[in-house]
Structure 1
Amino acid sequence: MGFGINRVVVSGRLCKDPELRATRSGLDVMTVRLATEDRKRGADGAWVDDASYLDVVSFGGVAAAAARQLSKGSRVVFGGRVRQRTWEDEAGTRHYRVEIVADDVVVCGERAKAACAAPAPAQPPVAAAPVAAAPVAPADVYDEDIPF
């Protein structure tokens, strides 16, 4: 099998609230639909906004944390990989779905600002112990040794 890189980063707004459920083994799974925008030239030469809708799924702690922070309309950036699922229904029809499996989630916009603006709990000051500076050896590299 050849070498391939499967990494994607997408940003946009959520089309609806995330759905959080758990597998039989207790693993959290979050699914959501993301709307992304692109601009292209229309037939008359004017710029037109073009939307794409992507299915995103996340697992484990990332899924649980993201589902708590996200809601419909949230601006978000997902980082992950692309995967294609294939299944067959009762009638024998084969179905395909391409989705993003997100392992990184960054919330943007007002909700993220509010979370960042929340004051951190007060921590008592920690007395720093004096640290002795280690002697630094002189460098063995001189200007003549650098090839440029």
Structure 2
Amino acid sequence: MNGTVNKVILVGHLGDDIKMHYFEGGNCIGRFPLATNETYINKSTGEKINSTEWHNLVVRNKAAEICEKYLSKGDKVYVEGRIKSRQWQDDSGSQKYTTEIQVTEFTFLTLKKESEDSRSQINKPKYDEDDMPKNDLPY
């Protein structure tokens, strides 16, 4: 180990359906926003505060296809991954920055079919990095 760790664990709800991007050679990535919520009491006012944090998630190849097939907006998912920041220039020449979670493992906590089938008896699949092809894809 190199003495550092870059690991994120999130449990949240999809803010939108998976957006797929396909590349030559059959590779693909899927992107989706994930919301995590926190509730706390403001000590000075006694007011209950609800706070939502949005995370940009990226899944690759087979994992992306699995997520697209089984997850939809509002579904709950457990993910593990790494934080990755990147920058680029937009069409007007402005520098843009983003921070993403590159997903390495995930478990569905609710699925599209569960809401459609009234919580039917579906085995919830769990996937980790060993199930996913390892490719560095361009963004």
- Please tell me whether residue 36 in structure 1 is matched to residue 36 in structure 2: yes
- AA paired with 2:121? A
- Please tell me whether residue 63 in structure 1 is matched to residue 70 in structure 2: no
Any stretches of 5+ residues in structure 1 without a counterpart?
118-148
SS at 1:21 equivalent: strand
Q: Deviations over 1:26-80 (max 9, x none)?
A: 2121110111101233351222110011110100111111111101110111111
Contact 1:66/1:105 (CA < 8 Å) preserved in 2? Answer: no
- Please tell me whether residue 27 in structure 1 is matched to residue 27 in structure 2: yes
Aligned to 1:116: 123
Shift in Å, 1:85: 1.2
CA distance in 2, matches of 1:105, 1:66: 9
The RMSD of aligned alpha carbons is: 2.0
Q: Deviations over 1:89-110 (max 9, x none)?
A: 2332111100100021211036
Structure showing greater radius of gyration is 1
Instruction: Give the 4+ runs in structure 1 shifted more than 4 A.
Output: none
Aligned to 1:45: 46
TM-score, normalised to structure 1's length?
0.70
SS at 1:91 equivalent: coil
Aligned to 2:98: 97
- AA paired with 2:107? V
SS at 2:25 equivalent: coil
Shift in Å, 1:113: 6.1
CA distance in 1, matches of 2:40, 2:93: 39
SS at 2:122 equivalent: helix
Any stretches of 5+ residues in structure 2 without a counterpart?
125-139
Change (3 A) 1:107 1:92: same
SS at 1:114 equivalent: coil
Contact 1:75/1:107 (CA < 8 Å) preserved in 2? Answer: yes
TM-score, normalised to structure 2's length?
0.74
- AA paired with 2:65? A
SS at 1:78 equivalent: strand
